[in-house]
Structure 1
Amino acid sequence: MMPKLSKGQKQIARYIVEHYDKAAFMTAARLGQAVGVSESTVVRFASELGYEGYPQLQRSLQELIRNRLTTVQRMELTDEQLGGGDIVDRVLTMDIDKIRRTLEEVSRADFSRIVDTLLNARTIYLIGIRSSASLASFMAFYFNHVFDNNVRLVTSASTSDVFEQLLRIQEGDVFFAMSFPRYSKRTFTAMKFAKERGATTIALTDSSLAPIAEIADLRLYARSEMASFVDSLVAPLSLINALIVAIGIKRKEETSRAYAELERIWDRYEVYTKADDGEH
C-alpha cells in the first residue's frame, strides 16, 4: 500500500518496518513524535490500513511480532515501559487488564466443548514447555485429584523424551497443550504427532496466530501480553482454574470422594501443618 499513502503516512510505515519492536508498544502520540508527524496523522494511517483505530493496529502488530522479540529486546522495552515508575502498580494493573480482556473474549461455547471433551477422554496428556511448564504442572496436580488415573503430564527433558511419553497416545485420548510467546517448537511438533495418532488436540494459547492454534481441534485464548521480559501467565492460569472448577462440578460425586480420601491421607501422614501445632 506504500504508493497510496501520503508523505507523512509513508514515514510512519518506514518507521514501523525499521523499528517494529518499539513501534508496537508506542501510543499514537509517541509514534507521531518519533516520526515527526501529528497524532492525527498516525490515527488516519491506521484507518487507511483498514483498522477501526490505532489501538487495533497496535494490537495486531504486537501479536505479529511478540514471538520474534529476543530477551535483549524485551529488556529494552521493559526499561522504556516501566522504568522510573511504580512497577508494582503498573505490572499488577496490566495483569488485571489481561484477565478482564480474556473474560470478555473467551468463547463460552468452546470452553464448554473442551470441558466435555476432557470428561470423555480415555487418557489426557498435558504439555507445557519452558515458562508454560508451570501451567501444565498446576493443571496436572488438580486433574490427578479429579480424574481416575488417566492424566499424564508430559515433561520435556529432551525431544526424544516427549515422543517416548506419547508412545501410546491414540484415538479417544486428548492432547492438551499450553504455549505462549516465545512459542516452543517442541510443543508444536508434539501436537502434530498426537494429531497424527488420532488424538483430539486442544490448544491454550494467546492468539490464533500461535503455531499450535493453527493445527488444534479446539482452542482457548488467554491474553498474555508481556509487561517485561517476564511472560505474564495470570490470565491463562485463571482460565485453567475455571476449567478445573467446571470439571469438578461435573464430576461432583467422584471429586468429593477423592478429596475425602485425600483428607484422611493428608491427616494421617501430617501433610499440612495445623494452626494449633505451634509450628509454622
Structure 2
Amino acid sequence: MSVTDSPAARLQALFEGHRLTPTQRRIAHSMVRRAADVPFLSSVELAELAGVSQPSVTRFAVALGFDGYPALRRHLREVAPAEPAAEAGAHNEYQQAVEAEIENLRHLAEALADPAPVQRAGGILAGSRPLLVLGLRAAAAQAHGFAYFAAKVHPDVRLLGEGGTMLQDRIDAAVRAGASALLCFALPRHPREVVGTLAYAKEAGLTVVTVADSAFAPVAKVSDLLLPAAVGTGLAFDTACAPMLLGRVLLEAMCDDLPQAQSRLEEFDTKAAARGLFVD
C-alpha cells in the first residue's frame, strides 16, 4: 500500500472540501489519529474517543453527506480497509504511549512523501528578514527549540514565546523592519491568544506558516500554510515528538534556501572551539 493509499490519507481526503464545526473537526482529528481502528468503532465508541456526544457523531456523518454513522462506517470499511489494532494489553501504559508516538511519526513520514509543502514553507521562512517564531504555553518549547537552531543560520530570528499585550507591538516592529513571514507552533490546548495573534499577523501582511497537531486545529483558519503533526495523548500531558521532528525538517528546508547557511554553521563551530563552549 502506498502512503497515499494509507487509511489516514483516505480519511483526510474524505474530509476535504467540507466546512466542519469545531466539534466536527475534533471528531475528524480523532478519526485520523486512529485511522486503522475507525471502521470498527461504534458511534458511541467514536464519541468517547473524540470527547463529544453520540448525536454529534451522527451530525458529523450527515455533514459529510451520509444518511448516518452506519453509512459512514460502511463507506470506511470499503475505501479504507484495515485490520483492527492489536490489543493494547500486551504493553503497559508507558509502552503504549511510546507506541502511539511511533505511530504519529509513521503518519508524519507518510505526509512527507510529498515534500512540496515543507519545501514551500522553508522558502517562505528563509526569505523573511526578520523571521518571527511564535509558540505559547504547550508550544513554547517547540518554538524555542526552532528559534535556537534557526538563529545559527538565519540572520535575524525573533522569538515570541510569551503572551501579552506586547505581542502585537513586536509584530508591528518586525513588519517595519521588513518581516514577511511568521512561523507558529500551535499545540493543544490551543490558547485563544494564538488565534488572535495569527489573525493580527495576517492583517499586518505576514505569511503565516503553522505547525499544528491537526489540519483541523483552530489555527487552520488563520494560517496560510498549515503543516500537521499529531501529538500523543496517552499520558497525563500530551507528547509532541512529531511536531518537534517536523520543526527540524522545516529547519532543513529553510537551510536549503539560505545560501550562507553552511558557512554560518562553520563560523559558529570555529568560534565555539575558540571559546571552549563545549566539553566534547
Same fold (TM over 0.5): yes
- 1:54-84 Cα deviation digits (max 9, x unpaired): 7x99xxxxxxxxxxxxxxxxxxxxxxx9899
Structure 1 gaps, min length 5: 1-11, 26-30, 32-44, 58-80, 275-280
Shift of the 51–144 alpha-carbon distance from structure 1 to 2, 3 Å rule, reads farther
1:194 is matched with which residue?
Answer: 201
SS at match of 2:107: helix
- Residue equivalent to 2:157: 151
Q: Using a 3 Å threshold, how does the CA distance of structure 1 residues 255 and 132 change in structure 2: closer, same or farther? A: same
- Name the aligned partner's letter for residue 144 of structure 1: A
Matches within 5 A, 1:230-269: 230-251=237-258, 254-269=260-275
Q: For the Cα contact (< 8 Å) 2:134–2:161, is it kept in 1? A: yes
Partner of 1:91: 97
Once the 2 structures are TM-superposed, how far is the Cα of residue 23 of structure 1 from its aligned partner? 4.2
Give the drift of 1:221: 0.9
Rg larger in structure:
1
CA 1:209 to 1:23, structure 2 compared with 1: closer, same or farther past 3 Å? closer
SS in 1 for 2:269: helix
Question: 1:199 & 1:263 partners in 2: Cα distance?
Answer: 33
Query: Paired residues, what number?
Result: 215
Q: Which string of whole-angstrom CA distances, capped at 9 and with x for unpartnered residues, describes residues 166-204 of structure 1?
A: 222437510111111111111111111111111111111
User: Which of 161, 170, 176 is the matching residue for 2:166?
Assistant: 161
| Alpha-carbon distance in structure 2 between the residues aligned to 1:116 and 1:51 | 42
Question: What is the letter of the counterpart of residue 92 of structure 2?
Answer: D
Q: Is the 8 A contact 1:128 1:179 kept in 2?
A: yes
1:181 matched residue in structure 2? 188
SS at match of 1:159: coil
For residue 102 of structure 1, what is the aligned residue in structure 2? Answer: 108
- Give the CA RMSD over aligned residues: 3.0
Deviation at 1:159, TM superposition (A): 1.6
Structure 1 segment 36-55 matched on structure 2, within 5 A: 46-49=69-72, 52-53=75-76
Q: Distance in 1 between matches of 2:200 and 2:173?
A: 11
Structure 2 partner of 1:5: none
The separation in 2 between residues aligned to 1:51 and 1:229, in whole angstroms, is 34
SS at 2:238 equivalent: coil
Unaligned runs of at least 5 residues, structure 2: 1-41, 55-67, 81-86
Shift of 1:244: 1.2
Identity of aligned residues (%): 20
Q: Which has the higher contact order (CA 8 A, sep 6+)?
A: 2
- What is the TM-score with the length of structure 1 in the denominator? 0.67
Contact 1:174 1:199 in 2 (8 A): yes
